[in-house]
């Protein structure tokens, strides 16, 4: 369906870049031919709008979530109608950009120019004819980059159809891996907010890829499904701390279970293979989003339960579990802090249905709320010291500003023969906000902790539900 403009004034037309951009992964030439036939038939149907799914035999189409790193304010301006189709070989990621619009305004967004800035410099988009030829003749020759480390099968719950997937590992120092990743990383701009490119072949970078495997015309074909980048940090004395940096399952493959397979593939690889500096000490995460935390909690807790490592824990978060957490780290590469989170979730499963007045449940809630307070609010005395320091700095800045104003006025006085003085009035320049009483501040803090705790229990319940641990 053609996207409607956000506004139209004096032929200044603006569109939501995410809505008018369609990303299409193409497996073979028949998908393109089917799509062309579908679009040609539409041209002869007067007044009939294109449906959102398009031709079911054509390539799967999906939209970006973000485009602010490509188009300013995620806006494409100056065209009507506006449609941007970005085709990529399903495996090779060979790109072709097709734009469909009629010029309507002089205030134009340079669509192709802005997109070319973020595509691979070694393998930039090609023409339509070249793309069609590539898909017909060369896409079938694509083979996954790196070394195959795992394979698995996912069964469609509705159709019962089985699809095979393979996981590959590569280091960015491998030029084949580096070049492929250069084409692949445009997806992080579209789907990971605030992400950035990896332009260097820094040897500390590892990459894990998932590829779907299909049989087309009796031949194996591969298409990208998802990937993760890992940075290797040095850990004393001769070990590696692997940190997951970017982690993405492409939209057509989300909600199918690929996230857990990729996560476990990372764990399994590092259990038996060294990182850049030596054996892997643990696997950490860089600034995980809430959705990723849910995945991580699910995978980690399931692995701990499968290894029966929580079988003998007591229902007390204040118990000394250092030896247990160290065992979990050595066996499963789960960091100490994450093991504590998994223990909180596990103990919560044991307390489901317990009255709030139960002393064990009460102590559980208090312990977690103390942790949340420390993590999100910190020591109250230290906070007051910081606030006082900021207030003093603001006052000093005010005095300096007043001095500068008086110097300027003195120059004017000398010119005009006057003797005007600048009045120093702090309140007139920066009127202070009414301060909250200590009681009000403490009330706000407690309400915030209660909110955070309710959110935490909700997320813990989601994890337990996915593990079928919500019933006692």
Residue 75 marked ligand-binding:
no
Region of 417 please: left (phi>0), alpha (psi -120 to 50) or beta. Answer: left
Helix H or strand E segment including 2: none
Residue 12 marked ligand-binding:
no
Helix H or strand E segment including 273: none
What residues contact residue 385 under an 8 Å CB cut-off, 6+ apart?
none
DSSP symbol at 278: B
Q: How far apart (Å, rounded) are the C-alpha atoms in residues 449 and 430? A: 32
Tokens matching residue 224 = 């990208």
Q: How far is CA 77 from CA 1, 7, 70, 82, 394, in A?
A: 18, 10, 13, 9, 43
* Torsion angle of C-alpha atoms 445, 448, 450, 451, degrees rounded to 10: 180
Q: How far apart (Å, rounded) are the C-alpha atoms in residues 200 and 452? A: 39
243 contacts 233 by C-beta, under 8 angstroms:
yes
Segments in 211-307 forming alpha helices (H): 258-272, 290-306
266 contacts 228 by C-beta, under 8 angstroms:
yes
Q: To which residue do tokens 């902790």 refer?
A: 449
Neighbours of 304 (CB within 10 A): 23
Which of 249, 241, 263 is CA-nearest to residue 184?
A: 249
Q: How far is CA 68 from CA 87, 185, 225, in A?
A: 20, 15, 24
Given the residues 112, 151, 219, 286, the one annotated as active site: 286
Beta-ladder partners of 282: 241
Are β-strands 219-235 and 205-216 bridged in parallel, bridged antiparallel, or unpaired? antiparallel
Q: How far apart (Å, rounded) are the C-alpha atoms in residues 59 and 37? A: 13
Q: How far apart (Å, rounded) are the C-alpha atoms in residues 316 and 291? A: 28
Q: Is 133 a catalytic residue?
A: no
Which of 113, 116, 96 is CA-nearest to residue 23?
A: 96
Q: How far apart (Å, rounded) are the C-alpha atoms in residues 180 and 184? A: 6
Residue 249 marked ligand-binding:
yes
Binding residues: 247-249
Q: Which residues are catalytic?
A: 286
Binding residues for acetyl-CoA: 247-249
């Amino acid at each position: 369906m053609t996207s409607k403009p956000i506004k139209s004034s004096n032929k200044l037309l603006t569109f939501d870049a995410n809505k008018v951009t369609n990303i299409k992964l193409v497996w073979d030439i028949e998908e393109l031919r089917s799509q062309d036939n579908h679009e040609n038939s539409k041209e002869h149907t007067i007044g009939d709008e294109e449906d959102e799914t398009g031709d079911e035999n054509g390539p799967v189409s999906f939209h970006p979530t973000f485009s602010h790193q490509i188009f300013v304010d995620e806006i494409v301006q100056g065209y009507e109608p506006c449609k941007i189709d970005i085709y990529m070989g399903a495996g090779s990621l060979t790109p072709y950009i097709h734009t469909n619009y009629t010029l309507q305004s002089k205030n134009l967004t340079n669509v192709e120019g802005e997109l070319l800035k973020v595509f691979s410099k070694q393998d930039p988009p090609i023409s339509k004819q070249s793309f069609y030829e590539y898909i017909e003749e060369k896409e079938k020759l694509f083979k996954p980059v790196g070394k195959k480390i795992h394979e698995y099968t996912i069964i469609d719950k509705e159709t019962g159809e089985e699809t095979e997937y393979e996981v590959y590992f590569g280091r960015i120092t491998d030029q084949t891996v580096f070049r492929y990743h250069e084409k692949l990383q445009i997806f992080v701009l579209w789907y990971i907010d605030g992400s950035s490119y990896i332009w260097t072949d820094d040897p500390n970078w590892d990459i894990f890829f998932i590829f779907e495997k299909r049989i087309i015309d009796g031949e194996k074909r591969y298409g990208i499904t998802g990937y993760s980048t890992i940075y290797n940090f040095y850990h004393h004395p001769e070990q590696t701390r692997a940190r997951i940096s970017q982690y993405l399952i492409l939209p057509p493959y989300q909600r199918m279970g690929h996230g857990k397979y990729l996560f476990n593939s990372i764990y399994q690889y590092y259990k038996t293979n060294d990182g850049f500096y030596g054996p892997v000490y643990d696997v950490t995460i860089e600034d995980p989003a809430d959705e990723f935390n849910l995945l991580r909690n699910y995978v980690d807790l399931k692995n701990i339960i499968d290894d029966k490592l929580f079988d003998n824990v007591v229902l007390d978060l204040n118990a000394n579990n250092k030896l247990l957490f160290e065992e979990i780290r050595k066996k499963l590469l789960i960091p100490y802090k994450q093991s504590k989170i998994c223990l909180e979730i596990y103990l919560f499963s044991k307390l489901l249905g317990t009255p709030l007045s139960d002393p064990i449940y009460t102590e559980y809630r208090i312990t977690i709320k103390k942790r949340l307070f420390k993590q999100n609010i910190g020591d109250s005395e230290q906070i007051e010291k910081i606030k006082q320091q900021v207030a003093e700095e603001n006052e000093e800045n005010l005095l300096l500003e007043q001095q500068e104003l008086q110097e300027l006025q003195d120059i004017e006085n000398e010119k005009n023969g006057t003797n005007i003085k600048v009045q120093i009035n702090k309140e007139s320049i920066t009127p202070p906000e009414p301060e909250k009483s200590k009681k009000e501040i403490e009330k706000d803090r407690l309400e915030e902790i209660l909110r955070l705790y309710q959110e935490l229990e909700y997320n813990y319940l989601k994890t337990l539900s996915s593990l079928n641990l919500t019933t006692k």
